[in-house]
Amino acid sequence: MWTCALDAHGDESLPYNFCVGTEGNPGYSERIETLENAFKTSWQASCPDFQTEQGYSRTPPGQANLTATNWVGQQFDCLAFTIEMPFKDNANLPDAQTGWSGERSKKLGASVLQPILAVASRLR
């Protein structure tokens, strides 16, 4: 059995799909960083709506707020992400008719299976 945590959110200010890792956790390690990078690389390759250039700034080492996703990553020494989605539209792939929609959210959710599969053999 392996552990991976994904917590999906909507971001009111940034018009992009991105994920936030646990780099600020006291237990953040090279193993977790490698898993995060492999996950994000795979997701970018499988989903045009996902990107890594825009997002929140990285939390300095040891300064994470150990609640929610950070707590899970720290407690279980596992890959843990908060996925952020735009409320209105994805600025990198805008849709003038529907903007960001429930249908696009469902497609993004389905696409996350590919990066999970890409790292599954390395999860604990």
| Catalytic (active-site) positions | 84
Written in H, E and C, the secondary structure of 19-31 is: EECCCCCCCCCHH
Structure tokens at 43: 């997701």
Alpha helices in the chain (DSSP H): 30-46, 68-76, 102-111, 113-119
Structure tokens at 66: 């150990």
Dihedral of the CA atoms 90, 36, 58, 64 (nearest 10)? 120
